[in-house]
Every structure is written in C-alpha cells, then in structure tokens.
Structure 1
Amino acid sequence: MRRIAGACRALLPPPLGRPSHRGVRGGRTNRRYMGRRFRGRVRPNKPEHRVNHRIRFPKIRVIDPDGNMIGVMSPDEGRAKAKEFGLDLVEVSPQARPPVCKIMDYGKFKYEKSKAKSAAKSSTPTMKTVQMRPKTDDHDLETKLRRARKFLKRGDKVRIVMRMRGRERGYPQRWIEMLQETYQESLANLGRIASKPTQQGRVIAMVVEPTTT
C-alpha cells in the first residue's frame, strides 16, 4: 500500500508555493536565479557623445565649426545645417538647457581627444621599484642600476628596496650607508633623493625622483 501511495503522490502536480520549474517560485520569477543567467553578459558601452540621429531633444542650441552661435532649433534642422558643412552634429553639453550641440568632424574630434588623453597619461610620472640585497653581486647590481637610470631618464620615480635576511637584519645602518653610496656613485647625476633610506621591517627603502621634474 505504501508503494502505491508513493507512486500516486509522484503523479500529482506540485503544490502552490513550491518551484514547479527552475527559476520560478509560486508564480514569481526567482530573481536570484535570473541574475545568474545574465551575469556573464557584457553590456555595450554607452557612447560618450550623442551624434547626429542619436540626438533626440525637442530643441538644441547649435554652434558652427568656428565656434559661432547659430541659434536654437530642432535636431532635424541642426542635422541639416551640419550636412551643409559636410560634418557631424555632436552633443557637447547635454546638461545645458537647451542642450548644446556643435557641428564638427566627429572622427577627428575623437582622435584628438584620445591623443590628448594618452599624452597626459604618459606625462604623469609613475613609481618604479628596483630591488636588491646586501649580497647582490656586481653584475646584477649594475643591471638593476641600469634599469633605475632608464626609469629616471624617462621621468619616473624609482623606489630602491634592499631586502634583508637572517643576520643581515642586525646591521641596518650598514645597508642604509650602502644605499646612500650607491645613489651618489650611480644616480646622483640623474635624480635627487625624495625619501631618505628608512627601515620598514625587513626592507630598507629610499625614493629617487628625476631632477627634471
């Protein structure tokens, strides 16, 4: 009898409130499950500027390629003006009322903006790290100092780190003096000390910045 009752229960539809299929509970979509389904999808990037037919404001203020104000008009009229110049209508100030759009070569505008961004990024000094040990041999030390000189010539700051092990940790002042001598002999003509050698746990570090900055 128990086997027959169990078989009958298996044939019955699931009760309300329990998931009848994956992702649905009691007639409502399981948001947690649906979120997992779409988690791996990549959303397209929102364009930085609306151009031509993407401009959908009722009225816009249009500027010509020379920076002169043309007037307030509809986007269709603005696109017609841009077509007369053989250029694009680009939204430059969407927060203004009405929004401001300029007639320009959008491809050239994007290129110049990207070029300026790259130039600003390359001109920003970065911190490079050169590591050594008290027992670094002369050949390896010269290789590391050559890298440090290369960074300084490029305009980057250099953090020189000396790592101590075992008994070496008992003589920090000796390694501080070694770092100072290394700077005077190999780096003084290219940079100045921005941060004097100081002990930080198992390492002694100093920062050298280029003299041209």
Structure 2
Amino acid sequence: MSKDLRVNEEIRAREVRLINTDGEQLGILPVKEALRIAQDKGLDLVEVAPAAKPPVCRIIDYGKYRYEQSKREKEARKNQKIINVKEVKFRLGIEEHDFQVKAKNAAKFLKSGDKVKVTVMFRGREISHADLGKAICTKLANQLSDIAVVEKQPNVEGRNMTMILAPKQD
C-alpha cells in the first residue's frame, strides 16, 4: 500500500482535500498551498486517497509513516496462523491397536490446529471393497467428532480413499 503513494511534488491534482497532522480537515486547497503548509511545518504532503474527488492528502512525516506501515504489515503476518495438512495413512486390514495409535496422532494434529488428510490405501483387489475403507474413515470421524469436523467426505481417488478432517472452531 505505501509503495504507490505520491509525495510532495509528485502529486498531480490541481486541488486536494487537506488533513492536518492531528486528523482534522483543513478543507479543499490548491496543491501549491497545501505543499507550502506542509513545508512550513517541516513535514511531507502525502496523497493517501488518490481515487477520491478531490484526492485526499495528509500532512505527515513520510519516513515515519512508511516505517509504521511496515511494522503493521509485519505484525499482521506474524499473527497469521499457517494451517498445515498432516496425513494419516490406513490399510484395510488395520488392527484395532494400530487404528487407535493413528487416531491418537490425528487428534494431536487437530488439537495443534492442523487439518488431517486421512488416506486409506488399497492393494490389488482390495479396491473392490471400498465400503470397508469408508467404514474406517467413518469410524475415525466418529471417534474424533468432539474435536474435528469432516471437511471433505471420503471418496476414492485411484487406489486410495481420502477424507479431510478440520479442527472444530470454538
């Protein structure tokens, strides 16, 4: 945003709506007059709303303004939560204990705020038993229903069946 702002002599409009350092409007003035007021105060005239009729300009210290703008953008980037997709793989003949271990891992991923891609892998003729793969996905979804919602229902893609679980929003 701060990269395309016009400053001082770069402003091309004939008249501008001028805003003082404390945020009060000084009215619509010719650019030369607004520039003179800004220079008298030892500050810059910055066009903050070029699309307005007439364009809106503020009297501010441009260097300080750019610094604060970059700090705000950096803070916004820091506060963004990056959601990763973790994968948990199952096979049709999975034993109960192994299923519980993988379910516990999926729960850990969901609690840390990540999405979980559940993959049931089929080998050979196992693909004809897609209903058993769907049963595994449904069992996992039911077990994790208190902390997760099904974002994408189980469906077969090639030799795998995939389902995506997302953490529940409080």
Alignment match, 1:94: 50
Q: Between Structure 1 and Structure 2, how many residues are aligned?
A: 163
Q: Deviations over 1:21-55 (max 9, x none)?
A: xxxxxxxxxxxxxxxxxxxxxxxxx9322233432
Amino acid across the alignment from 2:153: K
2:34 to 57, 68, 78: 78
Tell me which of the two structures has the higher relative contact order, counting C-alpha pairs closer than 8 angstroms and 6 or more residues apart.
2
> What TM-score does the superposition give when structure 2 sets the normalisation length?
0.68
1:182 to 123, 132, 140: 140
Alignment match, 1:171: 129
2:103–2:140 CA contact under 8 A, matched in 1: no
Distance 1:91 1:155, change over 3 A: farther
Question: Which structure would you say has the larger Rg?
Answer: 1
Alignment match, 1:54: 10
Query: How much does 1:71 deviate?
Result: 1.9
SS of the counterpart of 2:53? coil
Q: Give % identity.
A: 28
Structure 2: gaps of 5 or more residues: none
Structure 1: gaps of 5 or more residues: 1-45
CA RMSD of aligned residues (A): 3.7
1:106 to 65, 68, 86: 65
1:161 to 106, 112, 119: 119
Query: How much does 1:162 deviate?
Result: 2.6
Q: Deviations over 1:90-117 (max 9, x none)?
A: 2122122221112344225523552475
CA–CA distance in structure 2, aligned partners of residues 78 and 144 of structure 1: 66
1:199 to 156, 162, 167: 156
2:106–2:116 CA contact under 8 A, matched in 1: no
